[in-house]
Structures are given as C-alpha cells and as structure tokens.
Amino acid sequence: MAKQDKEFVKEITPQSEDYSQWYLDVILKAQMMDYAPVKGCMVIRPYGYALWENMQKGLDERIKATGHRNAYFPIFIPESLLQREAEHVEGFAPEVAWVTHGGNEKLTERLLVRPTSEAIICEMYSRWIQSYRDLPVLINQWCNVVRWEKVTRPFLRTTEFLWQEGHTVHRTEAEAQEETLKMLEVYRDFVENDLAVPVVKGQKSEREKFAGALRTYSIEALMSDGKALQAGTSHNLGTHFAKVFDITFLDSDGELKYAWQTSWGVSTRLIGAIIMVHGDDRGLVLPPKVAPTQVILVPIMPKKARAEVLEKASAIFAELKQSGLRIEMDDREEYSPGWKFNEWEMKGVPLRLEVGPRDLAAGQAVLARRDTGDKEVVALTDLTVRVPALLAEIQNNMLEKAKKFRADNTHRTDDYEEFKQIIEEKRGFVISGWCGHADCEAAVKEETKATIRNIPFSLEKETPGRCLYCGSEGKHLVIFARSY
C-alpha cells in the first residue's frame, strides 16, 4: 500500500480508542457535514444531503401511501400561541430561540422559532375544522426546527435540524389511536427495511412522554457503542390541544365535540443512527437502499491500456446506470487504485466494481462488498443481474448483523446490583421489571444515567416479575439503557 493510502486511513480514530472522536472523524472525512459559524449548527454537505434525500423519498412515499398530504407552516410562532398550553410551554421553554426585533424595530409580541409546530398548526386547524365532514385531517410537513441545545453533536443533537412532523385530527379516540400506532409501524418498516437498523416498538413512560400528549410511543435502536437512540416517536395527543386551541366539530348527532389529534416525527438524527449502527474503523457502511452511490466503478488503467479500459468501463457504467442503479465511475488519473478503494470504502459505498485489462481479456469484472469485504468475479454479461441481487444481499446482511449485535447486547435482570454492573461495564439494552412508579424510574436514572427507553409491545404478554429498584410487584417489563 502506498504511503498516501496508509495516511488516508489513519485519519479515522479507531472506535475502540475513542468512539466519539471516531464518529466525528467519519462524518467530517466522508464530507457528510461541516461545522457552521453558529454554535451547535451544521452545514449538511452534498454527500450527507444526498443520503437525507434518499431517506426522505422512501419515507415520504410511505406517508403519502397512508393517505397523508404534505403542507408547510411558518417557522415563526407568536408567543401568545405557545403560552396557551402550559405543559407544552414548560417542556420547550428552555430550548426556544426568540425573535424580538424586525429590522431595527422591536416587535410588539415576541416570536419563537419553531421547536415543534403543534401550536401554530392547531391554531390553523381550529379555523379549518367545523364539521365531522371535515375529518380526518391528515397533514405532514418536511421542515427545519430549532432547539437551543446546551450540548450538541452533529446529526444526533443540533441547534437546528431537519425533520418531518405529521399532525392529524380525528373524530374519535379509536381513530386517533389507530393513526398513532399506524405511523409508528410506518417508522419501524422504514428504519428496519431501508436503513437496516432494527428497532424496538413500545410505549413511553409518563415521565418520558411528549409534553402535552396523552400517550407517546417510540422506536428505539441500539448503537454499536451500547447506547440507545430514540429513532422516532408517535403521539396520541388526545383532546388536550383541541381544548386549548378550540378545535371543535359538529358531529352527526348534532353535538359539538372536541377533536382527537396525533403528531409524529423523525429527523436527521437517523443519519447518526446509520453511521453508528453500521460504521467501522474504515468509515461509513451505508445501506444500499439509501446510499447516495450504490456502486462505484473503478477502472484499473495502466498507461498502455488506458483508452481501451476506459472505453469498456464507460459502456459498463452506462448500462448499469440505465438499469436504474445509482452508480459513479472514478477515472481520476491523479490517484492510485488503492487510494480510490480507501476513499470509497470510507464513504461507505456498498459495492465496488473493478475492471482492468486482464478482466476485460477474460470478459469479467470484480465486485467487492463494503459490508463484508468479500470479493467475487462476475462475467460482464451478468452484471445487470448480479449487481442488483448483490445489493439486496448486502441490505439484508446489514440488518441481520445489526439484529445479532442487538441480541448479543440485550440483557435481562431484576437484580439492581447486577443491573448497575451491566449498565457500567457492558451497556446495551437491559430488560427489567418496573412497578410503574415515577420515583423508581427517576432514582434509576439519577444513580445509573439509564432511562426507560420504552415499554416494548413484544414483552406485554410476559410476566414482569419484580420492580428492578424497589422490589415490589412489577407492572411492566421495560427496556433500560443509557442513551444519546
């Protein structure tokens, strides 16, 4: 390996040495983002944004397939709207950015830069909804939000971030609950099948639910350092916001009733999930379904055969691109093949296609997988069939590998001393009994920094045993973990 090749790889800190630095090295070296002049903000660079666009496309299709339509609401929210809902105000006040002046003039009323859009959307819904015939309202928006975080980390927690937020209105509690769980399942399907990140669906505890919600549900993922990441949430808002913002409708029985609402969202923190679940010491490992570049074609071009190899490589490139693959060709003369291999591996491209003079003479090409490093020789005539099939294999393998990691790092105990040892030394998910009291939940968090991630649906039928903290009869089996 040439000296420049070795130096290229050295720029990424090994995970075992410093996981946080590894994460930052990877996203910066892969040109996913860069730090903005504003503290806590980031610039999402083209490679990172292309990943987000592919993610957005896959989720947006699912959202629209369930009957929702996209709209857009203002980024500025009058203070009086937020103040209507005390619990909501308390939940977001520490993170709110305020606008006090327009040009040189002081505003008569402060405006907040949206941390979430319930207040302004509810104000509009109160105008639009009059009768049961106006229901349901199924609206989603893709936008940015601002939350003035004290501690930030690119993609995972930033002052400004991108997301989608769905806001729906329904006639009955049953319809709202159905919607809440339907969208939670949409998130699970998207995150597992497109991002290859396994998640646990469940209900949040009262302490961890969204400010103002009746019930909050989440999907929780396990990162490769043993910490949890909340990958998406769906909230049954009940009639709470409807009563605050006077969202009423005349029902078919002639009675004026409060509407039932939901909200749900995922954000660019899912990019962080992809990086931490799949990445390794060589950089990113991206799932084929969302990777900006699915295949990188690297022609091996000695000077004497350059024209011949480039001509054939260009034909292969055109054929694969025509088949619908996201493919690029790296024919730069100033870099060696080894340097290019390192660069594209670091960028997480799922599949590398190599072709040189000997390959052409034999009518074949070499395919190298990013997820396993395995190589295989494929006839040129079979590439349009084999490449898509191999990408599907890579996608599935990445999910199965992540599932195995989660299984290997999921523990079960109702012994508090053992629990503390696991959280400190092993990390991961810990399944334990919980009595349902907030005092026990708070004590565990204070003493171990582990929180209840959710009450998993998959464990509802199992006996909860004893509460991890107080030893009384358990009400739920829950998942504890330290989290981002």
d(CA 203, CA 190) in angstroms, rounded, equals 19
CA distance 44 to 272: 12
Task: Report the CATH fold assignment for 295-390.
Answer: Rossmann fold (3.40.50)
Q: What percent of the chain has pLDDT over 70?
A: 97
* Each residue's pLDDT tens digit, 176-208: 999 999 999 999 999 999 999 999 999 999 999
Whole-angstrom distance between the N-terminal and C-terminal Cα of the chain?
A: 38
pTM of the entire structure? 0.95
Are the folds of 295-390 and 410-481 the same?
no
Whether the pLDDT of residue 5 is over 50: the answer is no
Q: Which of 93, 134, 96 is nearest to 112 (CA)?
A: 96
- Per residue in 201-242, pLDDT tens? 999 999 999 988 999 999 999 999 999 999 999 999 999 999
Place 4 in a pLDDT band, splitting at 50, 70 and 90: very low
The domains of the chain are located at 12-278, 295-390, 410-481
Integer Cα distance of 301 and 59 in angstroms: 40
pLDDT for 341: 97
Residue 275, pLDDT > 50, answer: yes
Instruction: Compute the residue count for the chain.
Output: 484
SS (H, E, C) 24-82: HHHHHHCCCEEECCCCCCEEECHHHHHHHHHHHHHHHHHHHHCCCEECCCCCEEEHHHH
CATH architecture of 410-481: 2-Layer Sandwich (3.30)
In contact, 40 and 95? CB cutoff 8 Å: no
Could you give the CA distance from residue 145 to residue 100 in angstroms, rounded to a whole number?
18
Out of 1.10.580.10, 3.30.930.10, 3.40.50.300, 3.40.1190.10, select the CATH number for domain 12-278: 3.30.930.10
**97-102 and 105-113: which strand pairing?**
antiparallel
Contact present, 194 and 53 (Cβ < 8 Å): no
Quick check: helix, strand or coil at residue 308? helix
Does the pLDDT at position 9 exceed 80?
no
What are the backbone dihedrals phi and psi of residue 27, each rounded to the nearest 5 degrees, phi first?
-70, -30
Q: What is the pLDDT of residues 101-110, one digit of tens each?
A: 999 999 999 9
